[in-house]
Amino acid sequence: MSGRDWELVGAPNARDLGGLVGADGRRVRPGVLIRTPALGRLTDEDLPVLAKLGPSCVVDLRDHSETAVAPPDRLAGQPRVVHLPVHDAEHPVFTYVSAVLLGHDLGAYEALAEQGTPAAMAAIYRWFVSGESARANFGAAVRLAAQAENLPLVYHCSAGKDRTGWLTVLLLSALGVDEATIRADYLANNRLTESLREVLLEAMRRRMPGLDVEAVRPVLEVREEYLDAAYAEVRRVHGSFGAYLRDGLGVTDDVVVALRAQLLD
């Protein structure tokens, strides 16, 4: 099943990366790399769809502090579940996004408002590149995708847009997909989650009458400037994306060869 053949009502921005053109004109195989948000809101009708996708492995990029307060993932079959937390308690964005999605206390809002939400988001994306746990666990996730026994691979964070988005950038870059295509997949999140985003904002507006909704919106969206911040950090620290994969993430040339063998037709 390709991404155009299915949808998950409880995970509107879930999609299959199959069909994107990678190295040597070879396409990403359909049904092997599936990016999603957290799966705790899947409906009963979604479960047969997930079962048909048949994930062998589910990578969860959330920290235990996030999973402890979220509904547990609803899974089909018995996939191996691997927790590779990419989380930094020093960045209020993580706490805030989870709180927004779960309808919890929005106490982190003041810390974010001081920094400015777009600036806070850009800082998170720079941390994705340089943060120690980010490098360790993003690297581990890419290496998992190079192993046949983990395919099909489903991977997610909370909203399925930032950590999931950057892991998608890593995977597609290693597969030789061009940057314009990678950006288009990243930005597709906004279109796919538009109605959900407005529902969340309206609910927040009702609960917090003094809330500046336009200050909140950047946390619920993806933006080119966030991705640009991460790419700039890659260049600043490593000089090139290839060096970042190899030296920053431990994604060696052998891993890239294995990824392409497993994931490209």
Catalytic residue at 157? yes
Contact 18, 12 (CB under 8 A): no
Helices 163-174 and 132-145 cross at an angle (nearest 10°) of 50
CA distances from residue 218 to 78, 194, 201, 213, 231 in whole angstroms, order as listed: 36, 13, 11, 9, 19
Reduced to 3 states (helix: H, G, I; strand: E, B; else coil), residue 252 is coil
Contact 8, 46 (CB under 8 A): yes
Reduced to 3 states (helix: H, G, I; strand: E, B; else coil), residue 124 is helix
A 10 A CB-CB count for 84 gives: 19
Options 157, 204, 229, 230, the catalytic residue = 157
Reduced to 3 states (helix: H, G, I; strand: E, B; else coil), residue 27 is strand
Q: Give how far the C-alpha of residue 235 lies from the chain's centroid of Cα atoms, to the nearest Å.
A: 21
Any idea which residues carry the catalytic annotation? Answer: 157
